A and B are shown apart, each in its own frame.
Chain A
């Protein structure tokens, strides 16, 4: 096990405060300790790091030294992570393990050589102590004013100092208190009136005559200010993290900050930010999946022996059937019908899965979709007409006619109506996918109708966003439905969804 006490020590000795003309020669042993702890934590966060990569990281650190924190970050990232979507998790772990410790580093506010955002941050001394001395005497109004000025002129050093000061004053951090960093972050931002800052910056710019009333100009200004505010937020966040590490120690902190990878985020409990990350992940993932599946289909292009062609071809070998010929199997793309519960509890899962399926539409010969709560409505046209998934999903939410009686999920009724209207359209080419948690609010299940749909179609699958352990508890009737499905799958994250789609296209 790693000796955690050594980490600040090693960093202090080889770390941050040295002049660049005296390249620090990291002592292999203590460096090894820091890196091992770091890699250990990466692995604990589910990032695959192999032995070779670990050794490469060592060599890379020997090359770049520890004096430039931004460079160190890039060097470790280049050697240790091989997928961009793992980068956010990596960055958090990096911030925790290589946060500038107060011990042994030239203290005081950022020096003159600190230029870019990611440079070494020789923050204020002890956690909780006021930042740059004189700042402690500022009134809150003066502080807000200085912050606004720093944001307007994009003075990164000043912003960082003010962020530190704001954390000291507003976060109300208490040693040993078991609260996550997010709590402190929101407290600090609320007191800074973070949400109002954008408008204030804009009106300030208008007053100063830097900004006209042209729509386009205003839009650009808004984007620029938004960018700066995001930087400020990052600074506040990393300042809080730095102090938490100093308070609780590296290992404990890393554990609390551990975040799931995008592919492991639970649909049902995703925060709004995580949901956005997932949305961004859809396109690349479906593209990758489609490419792989198309390739597999092509390679499997060996059908039954084509006797006629083989005999005919044998003539060129003097009647010896030297080269057997095979039939090309007909390219069979499945036809998909998606039926999704979009009631509150599972709405985000349904929307997400619909988007995923439609992003993969080229892999299927036809995709049709229905949504329901207690009434059911076909929404295929929303997707095919606009060609824009986001807009289509918006329409599904606002225009689809899904409420029949009271707006509580009624799977039985939905299945009954679907069966009545569309059962004759289900052909042996059709795969039906049902999405939902099967929480039926104690209505009749109509499970037998599912059995009939399954007989008519090729496959019938059920995707449930709840953990398998919760199935059949309370008003969940998953088991009853599952008996009539070719497969009922737990589908809580992108990884499981991807695996499922690959299976459907294959069959």
Chain B
């Protein structure tokens, strides 16, 4: 790969160029993953930028992002490869007239032109730089995880009819998990572990300023403060970074340059998505009372 990371600072700087603010721990693990050629398993609450990290690493290294979205019921024909059986059927039918040797036909229909590549195989066979994102890996059943093991440890795939296909290069592999279930030991063992939590006040403020460039520093600071306050409450779903950004944009559109309790009360539904959470936050932040303008929901 041409564009490897030279140091941890290099990671921070290059991610910053693509508008991703990595804290030292994120940058450290990305650097290690690049060096040790090991996949990263990213865990953390929803909306802290796990998937975004993969996209940004791809953008920063000039690599193509190959994404495998996991879901319950994912199997190898969707994740790895599948034989194009319609094409195989056509080939066999076409052959009836020529009466050629069956062994020859068989060798033919189980060759590369009849192979449909799926994300994992595609990543292995890629010759240009790629970043492989395996998103929400906790959604597949524990048995399906085994599919990933060969890819993750040796970066190869064994296809019975073709043999083993080994990748020409070791791309950066990023797996994300929302921790809805415990992943298997075997999978974890093969990965570096990175936990991303909600950002600190300073980092969140910077993120807001980078993602909403029109915002002024004082408002960004206030936005970050309010969000920190709300997260500290015992709410069902704490605001994610993208919700923070949405909120900052909302404030700009409303033409507010300062956050007061009235504004918070009116726009809280951008940050919180459960009615019970909104009620709770209103009470706790002292913005109780009827909303000035009844908002349509």
Report A's interface with B, CB cutoff 8 A: 48, 50, 52-53, 56, 59-60, 63-64, 68, 70-71, 74-75, 77-79, 81-84, 87, 116, 214-216, 219-220, 223-224, 227, 284, 287-288, 291-292, 295, 387-388, 390
Whether, in the assembled complex, B161 has its beta carbon less than 8 Å from a beta carbon of chain A, the answer is no
Q: Given A64-B32, A224-B201, A387-B276, A81–B24 Cβ distance below 8 Å?
A: no
- Whether the pair B35, A63 counts as a contact (CB closer than 8 A) is yes
Leading 9 A-B pairs by shortest Cβ distance: A74-B28, A82-B188, A78-B192, A84-B195, A220-B225, A82-B193, A78-B29, A63-B35, A291-B180
Q: Which of A64, A74, A215, A292 contacts B261 (CB 8 A)?
A: A215
**A70, B31: Cα distance in complex, Å:** 14
Q: What residues of B have a CB within 8 angstroms of the CB of A288 in the complex?
A: 179-182
**A223, B201: Cα distance in complex, Å:** 11
Q: Given A70-B24, A223-B229, A388–B32 Cβ distance below 8 Å?
A: no
Which residues 268-297 of B have a CB within 8 angstroms of A? 276, 280, 285-286
**A219, B284: Cα distance in complex, Å:** 11
- Whether the pair A216, B285 counts as a contact (CB closer than 8 A) is yes
Instruction: Identify 20 residue pairs between A and B in the complex whose beta-carbon atoms are under 8 Å apart, listed by A's number.
Output: A48-B185, A52-B189, A56-B36, A56-B38, A56-B192, A63-B36, A68-B8, A70-B24, A74-B25, A75-B28, A78-B32, A82-B191, A84-B44, A216-B260, A216-B286, A219-B286, A223-B225, A224-B225, A291-B180, A388-B276
Output the nearest chain A residue to B33 by Cβ-Cβ distance.
A78
Q: Which of B36, B181, B229 contacts A220 (CB 8 A)?
A: B229
- Whether the pair B280, A388 counts as a contact (CB closer than 8 A) is yes
Q: Which of A56, A64, A74, A82 contacts B41 (CB 8 A)?
A: A82
Q: Besides A78-B192, A223-B229, A387-B276, 4 other CB < 8 A contacts?
A: A68-B8, A81-B193, A116-B24, A288-B179
Q: Given A82-B188, A223-B228, A71–B286 Cβ distance below 8 Å?
A: no
Whether, in the assembled complex, B43 has its beta carbon less than 8 Å from a beta carbon of chain A, the answer is yes
How close is A223's CB to chain B, nearest CB, in angstroms?
6
- Whether the pair B36, A84 counts as a contact (CB closer than 8 A) is no
- Whether the pair B189, A50 counts as a contact (CB closer than 8 A) is yes
**A224, B43: Cα distance in complex, Å:** 27
Q: What residues of A have a CB within 8 angstroms of the CB of B190 in the complex?
A: 52
Which residues 58-87 of B have a CB within 8 angstroms of A? 72
Report B's interface with A, CB cutoff 8 A: 8, 24-25, 28-29, 31-32, 35-36, 38, 40-41, 43-44, 72, 141, 179-182, 185, 188-195, 201, 222, 225-226, 228-229, 232, 234, 259-261, 264, 276, 280, 285-286
Output the nearest chain B residue to A298 by Cβ-Cβ distance.
B72
**A390, B276: Cα distance in complex, Å:** 13
Q: Which of A63, A224, A390 contacts B32 (CB 8 A)?
A: A63
Q: What residues of B have a CB within 8 angstroms of the CB of A388 in the complex?
A: 276, 280
**A74, B194: Cα distance in complex, Å:** 9
Q: What residues of B have a CB within 8 angstroms of the CB of A50 in the complex?
A: 185, 189
Q: Which of A74, A83, A292 contacts B181 (CB 8 A)?
A: A292
How close is A215's CB to chain B, nearest CB, in angstroms?
5
Q: What residues of A have a CB within 8 angstroms of the CB of B286 in the complex?
A: 215-216, 219
Q: What residues of A have a CB within 8 angstroms of the CB of B264 in the complex?
A: 216
Q: What residues of A have a CB within 8 angstroms of the CB of B72 in the complex?
A: 295
**A223, B224: Cα distance in complex, Å:** 12
- Whether the pair A74, B29 counts as a contact (CB closer than 8 A) is yes
- Whether the pair A59, B36 counts as a contact (CB closer than 8 A) is yes
Q: What residues of B have a CB within 8 angstroms of the CB of A64 in the complex?
A: 8, 28, 31-32
**A396, B171: Cα distance in complex, Å:** 55
**A52, B152: Cα distance in complex, Å:** 14
Output the nearest chain B residue to A71 by Cβ-Cβ distance.
B28
Q: What residues of A have a CB within 8 angstroms of the CB of B191 in the complex?
A: 82
Q: Given A78-B192, A216-B285, A387-B276, A71–B24 Cβ distance below 8 Å?
A: yes
Q: What residues of B have a CB within 8 angstroms of the CB of A224 in the complex?
A: 201, 225
Output the nearest chain A residue to B196 by Cβ-Cβ distance.
A84
Q: Which of B24, B193, B229 contacts A78 (CB 8 A)?
A: B193
Q: What residues of A have a CB within 8 angstroms of the CB of B24 in the complex?
A: 70-71, 74, 116
**A116, B27: Cα distance in complex, Å:** 15
Output the nearest chain A residue to B182 by Cβ-Cβ distance.
A288
Output the nearest chain A residue to B183 by Cβ-Cβ distance.
A82
Q: What residues of A have a CB within 8 angstroms of the CB of B8 in the complex?
A: 64, 68, 71
**A429, B157: Cα distance in complex, Å:** 49
Q: What residues of B have a CB within 8 angstroms of the CB of A87 in the complex?
A: 195
How close is A361's CB to chain B, nearest CB, in angstroms?
14
Q: What residues of A have a CB within 8 angstroms of the CB of B261 in the complex?
A: 215-216
Output the nearest chain B residue to A279 by Cβ-Cβ distance.
B234
How close is A169's CB to chain B, nearest CB, in angstroms?
31
Q: What residues of A have a CB within 8 angstroms of the CB of B188 in the complex?
A: 82
- Whether the pair A84, B276 counts as a contact (CB closer than 8 A) is no
Q: Given A78-B194, A288-B180, A295–B141 Cβ distance below 8 Å?
A: yes
Output the nearest chain B residue to A288 by Cβ-Cβ distance.
B181
Output the nearest chain A residue to B37 by Cβ-Cβ distance.
A59
How close is A155's CB to chain B, nearest CB, in angstroms?
15
How close is B160's CB to chain A, nearest CB, in angstroms?
26
- Whether the pair A219, B28 counts as a contact (CB closer than 8 A) is no
Q: What residues of A have a CB within 8 angstroms of the CB of B25 in the complex?
A: 74
**A220, B226: Cα distance in complex, Å:** 8
**A287, B182: Cα distance in complex, Å:** 11
Output the nearest chain B residue to A290 by Cβ-Cβ distance.
B180
Q: Which of A59, A63, A77, A295 contacts B193 (CB 8 A)?
A: A77
Q: What residues of B have a CB within 8 angstroms of the CB of A81 in the complex?
A: 193
Q: What residues of B have a CB within 8 angstroms of the CB of A227 in the complex?
A: 201
